[in-house]
């Protein structure tokens, strides 16, 4: 998507009397320039570089308008945001609101804080686009947002945010209940979420956020989330979301949080110091009356450091509402052992693929496949997990292959709990607090073959619970560790240790 440079008419806001001294209220003059562009069928509205334009209430931009604000500052001096594409008496269906809008450059200062330092204390977006098509924001700095969002795309499609900076957020709600608030919010046209109608459940679709920076400002702290959604209607979804090449420096909750998103690419972002997950994709719980599932999620090549809780990357469905076609590949996740986050967590996902990731120093589990059938956990490097390195639980048909799992503070390098029809093959483990590979309670009818188990500080090589039955454990290499056979391979439940049906340990497993 490329922005349109609308030049049907060209006008500077000072033509209509804007002063730009930072204190004179320029709202009427600037709005006159926007109205002139509207009456001309579209056009280019310019701000003068080096000047600060004070605005006391929302400006309204109409169809086919480009705002050129490089070098200028537009600053709120009332108790509202700065720019939107509607007046309060309008109503639109679907994507039929004022559209083909481009904003280029400028510092858009929401001027939030406490009413003394910063005049804005209301719950207000700095910019708000509803029922729109083809909105481009490029090279903006949007700073000092009060309680709501820096930019909201509500019921809007084919929108892009490119090379922008989002700086500073202040939760001015009376009970501090807006700790989730996003800098860039993707939203739906429902009552209570959309400022105007029609409340027709139209969602934001085909949204690109690329090359942006998110962090605190000199005055205000970090956002609740950098990019995300928190409202949905039953049977409605957000489609075609691309979040790429952004840098997120601290959030109160998640860095990126998708809620009912489909056809999603989240790639090559750098995310640091989030209060919850670095990246989280989820859906509404169907127990609340929602009809929901999600699909086609690609999370690739992201660098995530120090998520304090939940996970570096988390994709969560629910019983009866799974997330399908999930691919998590090539990400680097660095945790902090003092925190409680998993590295990668997939739950109620169908056939998730978790491959080629590097996960280090997590405060809980490195990779957790929970209630997710048909998973492929392949070719990952997991080091220094406080709990299990890789944990497969309540899942059928999961393959864990070619992973390198090194060091757990507690528990095991690879753990299978209450799962069946699993394949654990070609992995290398070392320095487990418990066992290199552990078959937990009710781990049944699986196969553990061709793994290399290095002792290091491990207590055991391969072990199993008494209820772990019906599995084949054969052709694993536990040599060079000085283990006795009973310590190296010890399963309390029934197991086959040779491919000819032998049930005497260590069977076809190599132990020395």
- Taken in order 357, 361, 363, 366, the sign of the CA dihedral is positive
pLDDT value, residue 7: 55
pLDDT value, residue 4: 46
Give the 3-state secondary structure of residue 144: strand
User: pLDDT tens for residues 41-88?
Assistant: 999 999 999 999 999 999 999 999 999 999 999 999 999 999 999 999
- Contact (Cβ atoms closer than 8 angstroms) between residue 364 and residue 384: no
**Planar angle of CA 478, 484, 486, nearest 5 degrees:** 95
Structure tokens at 298: 């690609």
User: pLDDT tens for residues 466-481?
Assistant: 999 999 999 999 999 9
Task: Please tell me the number of Cα atoms within 13 Å of 144 on its side-chain side.
Answer: 25
Say whether pLDDT at 373 is over 70.
Answer: yes
Which residue(s) pair with 420 in the sheet? 396, 444
Chain position carrying tokens 């510092």: 107
pLDDT value, residue 92: 98
Q: How far apart are CA 485 and CA 510, in angstroms?
A: 9
Q: How far apart are CA 36 and CA 31, in angstroms?
A: 8
Please give the residue range of the domain that contains residue 425: 412-512
Element (H, E) at 208: strand 205-210
User: pLDDT tens for residues 155-208?
Assistant: 999 999 999 999 999 999 999 999 999 999 999 999 999 999 999 999 999 999
Q: How far apart are CA 387 and CA 335, in angstroms?
A: 13
Q: What's the domain count of the chain?
A: 2
Residue 78 covered by a domain: yes
What pTM, to 2 d.p., does this model score? 0.96
Residue 80 covered by a domain: yes
Neighbours of 200 (CB within 10 A): 17
Structure tokens at 41: 């069928």
Rounded to an integer, the average pLDDT of 204-223 is 98
Structure tokens at 214: 């998110």
- Contact (Cβ atoms closer than 8 angstroms) between residue 445 and residue 472: no
Give the 3-state secondary structure of residue 80: coil
Peptide bond into 506 cis (omega under 30): yes
- Contact (Cβ atoms closer than 8 angstroms) between residue 313 and residue 332: no
Distances (CA, A) of 372 to 36, 41, 61, 225, 351: 57, 53, 47, 27, 7
Instruction: Please give the mean pLDDT across all residues of the chain.
Output: 96
Residue 208 covered by a domain: yes
Distances (CA, A) of 108 to 74, 291, 451: 5, 39, 57
Residues in contact with 331: Cβ distance below 8 Å, sequence separation at least 6, in sequence order: 299, 300, 301, 302, 303, 304, 312, 313, 344, 357, 358
Residues in contact with 118: Cβ distance below 8 Å, sequence separation at least 6, in sequence order: 111, 112, 144, 146, 170, 219, 220
Distances (CA, A) of 261 to 117, 167, 205, 298: 38, 25, 9, 11
Q: How far apart are CA 153 and CA 103, in angstroms?
A: 14
Say whether pLDDT at 25 is over 70.
Answer: yes
| Backbone region of residue 470 per phi and psi (left: phi > 0; alpha: psi in -120 to 50; beta: other values) | left
Residue 292 covered by a domain: no
Residue 373 covered by a domain: no
Say whether pLDDT at 464 is over 70.
Answer: yes
pLDDT value, residue 63: 98
Residue 484 covered by a domain: yes
Last residue of a domain, one of 237, 252, 267: 252
Chain position carrying tokens 């809980």: 364
pLDDT value, residue 512: 86
- C-alpha closest to that of 12 among 69, 84, 50, 52: 69
Structure tokens at 494: 């029934």
Residues in contact with 44: Cβ distance below 8 Å, sequence separation at least 6, in sequence order: 5, 6, 7, 9, 10, 11, 37, 65, 66, 68
Chain position carrying tokens 């609740």: 224
Higher-confidence residue of 138 and 9: namely 138
Chain position carrying tokens 């979301």: 241
Say whether pLDDT at 139 is over 80.
Answer: yes
For 500, counting Cβ atoms within 10 Å of its Cβ (0-12 exposed, 13-18 middle, 19+ buried), the class is exposed
pLDDT value, residue 289: 84
pLDDT value, residue 1: 36
Q: Strand 447-449 relative to strand 471-474: parallel, antiparallel, unpaired? A: parallel
Q: Extract the runs of DSSP E, i.e. beta strands, from 26-105.
A: 43-46, 52-55, 59-60, 65-68, 73-76, 83-84, 101-104
Say whether pLDDT at 349 is over 80.
Answer: yes
The fraction of the chain above a pLDDT of 90, given in percent, is 94
Rounded to an integer, the average pLDDT of 447-466 is 97
Last residue of a domain, one of 203, 237, 252: 252
Residue 316 covered by a domain: no
Chain position carrying tokens 């001294």: 21
Residues in contact with 336: Cβ distance below 8 Å, sequence separation at least 6, in sequence order: 306, 308, 361, 363
Structure tokens at 104: 């280029």
pLDDT value, residue 3: 45
Say whether pLDDT at 114 is over 90.
Answer: no
User: pLDDT tens for residues 234-284?
Assistant: 999 999 999 999 999 999 999 999 999 999 999 999 999 999 999 999 999
pLDDT value, residue 129: 98
Residue 23 covered by a domain: yes
Last residue of a domain, one of 206, 235, 252: 252
């Amino acid at each position: 998507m490329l922005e349109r440079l609308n030049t049907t008419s060209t006008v500077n806001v000072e033509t209509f009397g804007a002063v730009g001294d930072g204190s004179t209220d320029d709202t009427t003059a600037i709005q006159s320039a926007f109205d002139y562009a509207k009456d001309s069928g579209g056009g280019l509205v310019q701000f003068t570089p080096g000047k600060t334009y004070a605005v006391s209430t929302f400006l309204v931009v109409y169809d086919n308008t480009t705002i050129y604000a490089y070098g200028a500052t537009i600053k709120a001096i009332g108790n509202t945001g700065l720019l939107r594409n509607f007046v309060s008496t309008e109503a639109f269906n679907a994507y039929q609101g004022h559209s083909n809008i481009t904003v280029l450059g400028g510092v858009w200062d929401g001027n939030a804080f406490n009413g003394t330092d910063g005049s804005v204390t209301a719950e207000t977006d700095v910019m708000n686009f509803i029922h729109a098509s083809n909105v481009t924001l490029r090279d903006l700095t949007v700073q000092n947002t009060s309680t709501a969002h820096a930019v909201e795309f509500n019921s809007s499609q084919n929108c892009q945010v490119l090379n922008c900076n989002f700086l500073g957020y202040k939760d001015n709600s009376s009970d501090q209940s807006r700790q989730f608030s996003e800098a860039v919010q993707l939203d739906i046209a429902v009552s209570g979420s959309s400022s105007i109608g029609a409340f027709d459940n139209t969602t934001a679709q085909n949204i690109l956020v690329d090359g942006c920076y998110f962090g605190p400002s000199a005055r205000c702290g970090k956002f609740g989330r950098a990019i995300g959604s928190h409202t949905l209607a039953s049977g409605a979804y957000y489609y075609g979301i691309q979040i790429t090449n952004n840098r997120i420096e601290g959030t109160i909750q998640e860095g990126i949080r998708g809620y009912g998103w489909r056809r999603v690419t989240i790639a090559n972002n750098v995310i640091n110091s989030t209060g919850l997950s670095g990246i989280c994709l989820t859906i509404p719980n169907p127990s609340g009356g929602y009809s929901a599932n999600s699909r086609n999620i690609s999370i690739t090549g992201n660098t995530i450091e120090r998520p304090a809780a939940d996970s570096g990357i988390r994709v969560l469905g629910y019983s009866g509402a799974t997330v399908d076609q999930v691919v998590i590949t090539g990400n680097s996740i660095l945790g902090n052992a003092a925190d409680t986050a998993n590295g990668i967590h997939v739950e109620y996902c169908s056939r998730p693929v978790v491959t080629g990731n590097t996960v280090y120093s997590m405060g809980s589990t490195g990779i957790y496949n929970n209630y997710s059938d048909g998973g492929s956990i392949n070719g990952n490097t997991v080091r220094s997990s406080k709990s299990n390195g890789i944990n497969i639980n309540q899942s059928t048909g999961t393959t864990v292959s070619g992973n390198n799992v090194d060091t757990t503070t507690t528990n095991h390098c690879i753990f299978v709990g209450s799962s069946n029809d699993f394949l654990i093959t070609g992995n290398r483990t070392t320095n487990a607090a418990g066992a290199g590979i552990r078959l937990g309670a009710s781990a049944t009818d699986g196969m553990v073959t061709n793994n290399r188990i290095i002792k290091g500080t491990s207590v055991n090589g391969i072990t199993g619970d008494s209820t772990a039955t019906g599995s084949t454990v054969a052709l694993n290499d536990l040599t060079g560790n000085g283990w006795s056979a009973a310590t190296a391979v010890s399963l309390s439940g029934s197991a086959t240790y040779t491919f000819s049906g032998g049930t005497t340990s260590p069977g076809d497993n190599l132990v020395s």
